[in-house]
Amino acid sequence: MKDLPIDEGSEIAFCGRSNSGKSTLLNTITNNKKLAKTSKTPGRTQTLNVFCIDEFCQKRIVDLPGYGFAKVSKNLRKEWGYIINQYLSSRLSLKGLILIMDIRQALKESDLMLIKWSKKNYIPLKVVLNKGDKLSKSKVIKEIKSVEKKLEDLSFEGKPLPFSSKSLMGVDELRETLNNWFKI
Ligand code: GDP
């Protein structure tokens, strides 16, 4: 936490379970294949990475460590939870959260915790249903509807966004969300 940039300006944090495609998505929306490291081994990104997106680093993207990777020890998982918690509860420049989920495995326990946290703390959160290319169009629609219903049950406002780094669905919409939040 002490190594983070000064807590001023605007920060948007990206969170999600390991292997949700978070690093690939960051590379896609920034048009930079080398920005966030991607790997086929889930759980490799264990640090909090900050990317300055303007000259004076007043607008930043924060890549939070992926959670829920089964193969790591309980202690390490706890440590990740602690880091995410520390970040969320202290960062005043946080303007919004992008929650990335594999469309085939949406709304797991940790995802729900983040959604509830954002609501309680009035931090905007965008739900992204990633890897949309893995399902047929009709299954994507079905999945969106199911997630919408579950979000409604949580009194969460805001529509989930289907996304894919392969087919590029959702890229423009996600960029628009980021631009809007950075303007606030
Ligand atoms: P992270 O652990 O959440 O950062 O996930 P990565 O970005 O490293 O991606 C995990 C795996 O999912 C890799 O094998 C990626 O190639 C794959 N992946 C990421 N995004 C997509 C996508 O939009 N579609 C498909 N089919 N695979 C993806």
Task: Tell the residue nearest (CA) to atom 6 of ligand 1.
Answer: 21
pLDDT at 45 over 70: no
Distance 173 CA to ligand 1 centre (A): 19
Q: How far apart are CA 8 and CA 6, in angstroms?
A: 6
Ligand 1 pocket test, candidate residues 15, 38, 67, most atoms within 8 A of CB: 38
> Would you say residue 158 has pLDDT above 70?
yes
Q: Is the CB of 131 under 6 A from ligand 1?
A: yes
DSSP string for residues in 111-159:
HHHHHHHHHHTT--EEEEEE-GGGS-HHHHHHHHHHHHHHHHHTT--S-
- Closest atom of ligand 1 relative to the 43 alpha carbon: 2
Amino acid at 175: R
Residue among 160, 157, 141, 143 at smallest CA distance from 98: 160
pTM: 0.93
Q: Is 96 a pocket residue for ligand 1 (Cβ < 6 Å)?
A: no
From the CB of 164, is ligand 1 less than 6 Å away?
yes
Per-residue pLDDT tens for 51-86? 999 999 999 999 998 887 656 667 766 777 788 888
Q: What percent of the chain has pLDDT above 70?
A: 91
Kindly tell me if the per-residue pLDDT of 146 is higher than 90.
yes
